[in-house]
């Protein structure tokens, strides 16, 4: 019998949501043009009400280039965090947002989760992930 760790990304249980509110370094996996995974450390914020995860990034970064290369439909990505036996993954389609209000919201959420305001960066964008799947053990 297979064990499932599926979570509704729009309605997670309290322990899963609490885990995503703790300060943890995460990883973001994007796909390179050749289809191989590119995994980098990032800060991720999770907004189940909007079914979104957000990652602030420099517009010149490889992760941003990978998402942009996927076109308007967005890139399939996964964001993950782990702490001992607890782990959580958010999957979905990512797009890059450059609008100031989207970047400001991502910065606000980052400051809330990580306890520090990101330093000013005029090249900052936000990778918004429209969540299609979540799993883990919070």
pLDDT in tens, 29-63: 999 999 999 999 999 999 999 999 999 999 999 99
Full-model pTM = 0.95
* Cα separations in angstroms, 1 against 5, 36, 77, 88, 136: 13, 31, 28, 21, 18
Query: pLDDT by residue (tens digit) across 71-101?
Result: 999 999 999 999 999 999 999 999 999 999 9
d(CA 52, CA 137): 19
- Name the token pair of 119: 């330093």
């Amino acid at each position: 019998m297979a064990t499932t760790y599926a979570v509704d990304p729009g309605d997670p249980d309290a322990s899963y949501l609490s885990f995503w509110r703790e300060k943890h370094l995460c990883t973001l996996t994007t796909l390179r043009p050749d289809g191989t995974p590119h995994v980098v450390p990032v800060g991720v914020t999770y907004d189940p009400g909007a079914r979104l995860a957000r990652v602030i990034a420099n517009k010149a970064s490889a992760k941003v280039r990978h998402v942009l290369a996927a076109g308007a439909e967005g890139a399939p990505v996964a964001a993950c965090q782990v702490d001992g036996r607890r782990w959580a993954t958010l999957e979905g389609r990512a797009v890059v947002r450059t609008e100031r209000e989207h970047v400001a919201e991502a910065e606000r959420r980052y400051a809330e989760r990580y306890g520090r305001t990101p330093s000013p960066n005029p090249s900052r964008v936000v990778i918004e992930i429209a969540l299609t799947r979540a799993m883990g053990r919070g």
